[in-house]
Amino acid sequence: MTTLPNLTQKKLGLVIDLDTCVGCHACVISCKGWNTENYGAPLSDQNAYGADNSGTFLNRVHSFEVQPTGDEAAAQLIHFPKSCLHCEDAPCVTVCPTGASYKREEDGIVLVNEQDCIGCGLCAWACPYGARELDQAEGVMKKCTLCVDRIYNENLEEVDRVPTCVRTCPSGARHFGDLGDENSDVSKLVAERGGMDLMPEQGTKPVNKYLPPRPKDELPEFDVLAPFLEPVAQEAKGFLGWLDKTLEKL
Partner 1 sequence: MHPAPSVIIFTTFSGLGFGLLFWLGIDPTPPTGWVAFVFWLIAYVMAVGGLLSSTFHLGRPERFLKAFSQWRSSWLSREGIAAVTTLVAMGLYGLGLVFFGTAWQPLGWLGALGALATVFTTSMIYTQMKTIPRWNMNLTPAMFMSYALAGGALLKGNITMAIVLLAIAGVVQVFTWVMGDKAFENSGTTMATATGLGNIGSVRAFEPPHTGTNYLMREFIHVVGRKHSQKLRIISVALGIIIPVVLLLLPIGHWIALIAVASHIAGVLASRWLFFAEAEHVVGLYYGKR
- Helix (H) or strand (E) holding 37, with range, is helix 26-37
| 116 burial level (CB within 10 Å; 0-12, 13-18, 19+) | middle
Q: Single out the residue of 26, 29, 122, 148 in contact with partner 1 (rule: CB under 8 A).
A: 122
Q: Which is nearer to partner 1, 21 or 151 (CB)?
A: 21
Q: Among the candidate windows 7-15, 122-130, 147-155, 226-234, which touches partner 1 by CB under 8 A?
A: 122-130
CA distances from 1 to 15, 132, 221 (A): 28, 19, 63
Dihedral of the alpha carbons of 66, 71, 73, 77, in degrees to the nearest 10: 0
Q: Among the candidate windows 30-38, 103-111, 130-138, 165-173, which touches partner 1 by CB under 8 A?
A: 130-138
Q: Which is nearer to partner 1, 151 or 165 (CB)?
A: 165
205 makes contact with partner 1 (CB under 8 A): no
18 makes contact with partner 1 (CB under 8 A): yes
Q: Give least dist CB 157 to partner 1, A.
A: 31
Q: What is the DSSP letter of 145?
A: -
What's the half-sphere exposure (Cβ side, CA atoms, 13 Å) at 109?
20
Q: Give least dist CB 104 to partner 1, A.
A: 16
Q: Single out the residue of 76, 105, 205, 241 in contact with partner 1 (rule: CB under 8 A).
A: 76
44 makes contact with partner 1 (CB under 8 A): no
**Separation between Cα atoms, residue 182 and residue 8, nearest integer Å:** 14
Q: Single out the residue of 95, 148, 156, 189 in contact with partner 1 (rule: CB under 8 A).
A: 95
22 makes contact with partner 1 (CB under 8 A): no
Q: Give which of 211, 206, 169 is closest to 188, Cα–Cα.
A: 211
- Interface with partner 1 (CB under 8 A), residue total 70
Ramachandran angles phi, psi of 226, nearest 5°:
-55, -45
2 makes contact with partner 1 (CB under 8 A): yes
> What residues contact 98, with CB distance under 8 A and at least 6 apart?
2, 116, 117, 118
Binding site for partner 1 (CB under 8 A): 1-3, 18, 25, 28, 52-57, 60-69, 73, 76-78, 80, 82, 91, 93-100, 116-122, 124-130, 133-136, 138-141, 196-203, 210, 212-213
